[in-house]
Chains A and B, each alone.
Chain A
């Protein structure tokens, strides 16, 4: 997975988290996920289709999700509140929407699907074709994990290359 694909997601997460949490954040551990995805707590999954395809998961342990959602909502929320899960989904939606906006302005075209709660404990293992990168954002409310598995759509890529060659 190329950095040109990842950087817009990091920038968008930085902007959205910093604004919503009203405090700075830093990037912690960045790793390639070799084993199957294992959910940490409250996780929102967004699929992307188009020139680049794949999925992005935002994952927060239960305590962090409550603190983050409470900060975004401006009021203390209980762990059982549906609004906690809703907030994690909206957080994913905003980060991915902003990143996709940047990538689109660079010439990539996508469709972003509405976020869904990722409820199963495990996900599929990453492959050579679709590597998963896990980025940990360290915030005052706890760690927010972004798990990105994207790949270039080969058919679209060859069309783009052909178009570039003829222009």
Chain B
């Protein structure tokens, strides 16, 4: 998998911490691999929206990657509940269902961005940098010349 210049937290230079929420183990593994190539750290995983709420409280991640169609509690509802408690939460919806109503609903309820599956690493990388804004810094890749 392609390697990207690591994205770090501006405040302390530490890796960006991610919570990955998807009912598919395959999708979670796939996103975890991408996070690694971005120089990030997997803070936690959840397979449904309900678990996402408790995992958010436990891990306090910098970014949440959230699927929409999930059992028990869907991603948009989970995003809304997290943002209500934590207005600073940065949630990126990652779903194969990318029609406009879904995107608008997610953004209205507090999500910061939307990425459609199948996820292209270069697209997610740009979205992560955009969502972090000034709170993220692109570090020089290891071995890169000055």
Q: A residues engaging B (CB < 8 A)?
A: 15-16, 19-20, 69, 72-74, 82-83, 86-87, 89-90, 93-98, 100-101, 104-105, 112-115
Contact = CB atoms under 8 A, between A and B. Distances in A.
Nearest to B95: A97
A16 B24 CA distance: 16
Given A86-B26, A90-B24, A104-B101, A98 B96 contact: yes
B96 A93 contact: yes
A73 B116 contact: no
A82 B25 CA distance: 9
Contacts of A112: 69, 97
A104 B98 CA distance: 9
A100 B70 contact: no
B96 A96 contact: yes
Contacts of A19: 118, 120
Interface in B74-120: 95-101, 116-118, 120
B3 interface: no
A152 B26 CA distance: 32
B1 A93 contact: no
A97 B117 contact: yes
Contact of A86 (B24, B98, B99, B100): B24
B27 interface: yes
B118 A73 contact: no
Interface residues of B, number: 23
12 contacts: A20-B118, A72-B30, A73-B29, A83-B25, A86-B25, A87-B26, A89-B26, A90-B27, A97-B98, A101-B96, A113-B69, A114-B69
Contacts of B98: 97-98, 101
Interface of B: 1, 23-27, 29-30, 33, 69-71, 95-101, 116-118, 120
Contacts of B120: 19
B68 to A, nearest CB: 9
Contacts of A72: 26, 30
Contacts of A86: 24-26
A114 B96 contact: no
> Which has the most chain A C-beta neighbours within 10 Å: B23, B100, B120?
B23
Given A19-B118, A69-B26, A98-B117, 8 more contacts: A15-B118, A72-B30, A83-B26, A86-B25, A87-B26, A90-B26, A101-B98, A101-B116
A87 B29 CA distance: 10
Contact of B26 (A16, A73, A101): A73
A144 to B, nearest CB: 15
A19 B119 CA distance: 10
B29 A94 contact: no
Nearest to B25: A86
Contacts of B1: 74
